């Protein structure tokens, strides 16, 4: 199947799941996760109408953005772990960062975001399944992180992101998402810029869309399996 056909299939899935879970049309955006994939694959997706791309590795993301600079309406999202020594490249090249989980990184990105660029859109990464991941802050730490980010002029807080451990059933996955969704709704009610709940990957699209996702991050279902041996 071509990338165009796979993209169209994923978009149809999102539409169907939005109807099934009583979500408004177009309330879930698709982030195409293109890490390790060649430029050609991103160009094919772009030709098919895709505009949001997600990358995990800083140098790869910067190289791709520079090579595709003529496609001005691409929105570049950084979704990988952030090392402090890479924050400047992220601040200078990305439109969004989903993985803020340390105040120090937020402050560095704010300082390093060039003045002539719009504020960097950011999400706070939350760890909602305990031991599964070392990344992400606890839900009870979110309010303090929100206050820090809202005080930083070159960052614009857009919402919350999570990568929970896969569960046995959709019901179990929804239970993991419920407290995150609740926190997101409370935050969104206090700040009209907060409109993004970045949850849902190829394996849990239905549970995520049922749980209020506004941005799903899908790689394999669009671009095929990744080959890390040659990446």
Ligand X SMILES: *Cc1c(COP(=O)(O)O)cnc(C)c1O
Q: List contacts with ligand X (CB under 6 A).
A: 33, 35, 56, 79, 163, 201-202, 217-221
3-class secondary structure, 33: strand
Nearest-10 Cα torsion for 160, 77, 19, 170: -60
Question: Left if phi > 0, otherwise alpha if psi is -120 to 50, otherwise beta: which for 135?
Answer: beta
Q: Closest-CB residue for ligand X?
A: 219
In the complex, the smallest distance separating the C-beta of residue 173 from ligand X, rounded to whole angstroms, is 15
Q: Is 70 exposed, middle or buried (0-12, 13-18, 19+ CB in 10 A)?
A: exposed
Helix (H) or strand (E) holding 55: strand 52-55
In the complex, the smallest distance separating the C-beta of residue 199 from ligand X, rounded to whole angstroms, is 9
* Residue 163: alpha-carbon gap to chain centroid: 10
At 135, list the tokens.
């990344």
DSSP 8-state symbol, 193: T
For ligand X, give the closer residue by CB, 34 or 183.
34
In the complex, the smallest distance separating the C-beta of residue 203 from ligand X, rounded to whole angstroms, is 7
In the complex, the smallest distance separating the C-beta of residue 189 from ligand X, rounded to whole angstroms, is 26
Which residue is it, tokens 């949001």?
A: 52
For ligand X, give the closer residue by CB, 78 or 184.
78
For ligand X, give the closer residue by CB, 35 or 158.
35
For ligand X, give the closer residue by CB, 84 or 220.
220
In the complex, the smallest distance separating the C-beta of residue 36 from ligand X, rounded to whole angstroms, is 9
Per the document, the length of the chain is 231
């Amino acid at each position: 199947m071509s990338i165009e056909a796979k993209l169209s299939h994923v978009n149809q899935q999102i539409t169907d799941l939005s109807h099934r879970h009583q979500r408004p049309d177009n309330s879930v955006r698709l982030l195409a996760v293109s890490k390790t994939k060649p430029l050609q694959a991103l160009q094919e997706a772009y030709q098919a109408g895709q505009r949001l791309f997600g990358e995990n590795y800083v140098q790869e993301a910067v190289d791709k953005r520079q090579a595709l600079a003529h496609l001005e309406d691409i929105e570049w999202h950084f979704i990988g772990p952030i090392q402090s020594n890479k924050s400047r490249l992220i601040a200078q090249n990305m439109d969004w960062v989903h993985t803020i989980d340390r105040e120090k990184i937020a402050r560095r990105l704010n300082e390093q975001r060039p003045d002539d660029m719009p504020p960097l859109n950011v999400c706070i990464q939350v760890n909602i399944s305990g031991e599964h991941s070392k990344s992400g802050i606890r839900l009870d730490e979110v309010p303090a992180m929100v206050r820090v980010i809202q005080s930083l002029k070159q960052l614009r807080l857009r919402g919350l992101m999570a990568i929970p451990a896969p569960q046995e059933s959709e019901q179990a996955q929804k239970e993991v998402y419920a407290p995150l969704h609740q926190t997101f709704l409370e935050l969104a009610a206090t700040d009209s810029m907060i409109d993004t709940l970045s949850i849902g990957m190829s394996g849990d699209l239905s549970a995520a869309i049922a749980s209020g996702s506004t941005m799903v991050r899908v790689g394999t279902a669009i671009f095929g399996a990744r080959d890390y041996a040659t990446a």
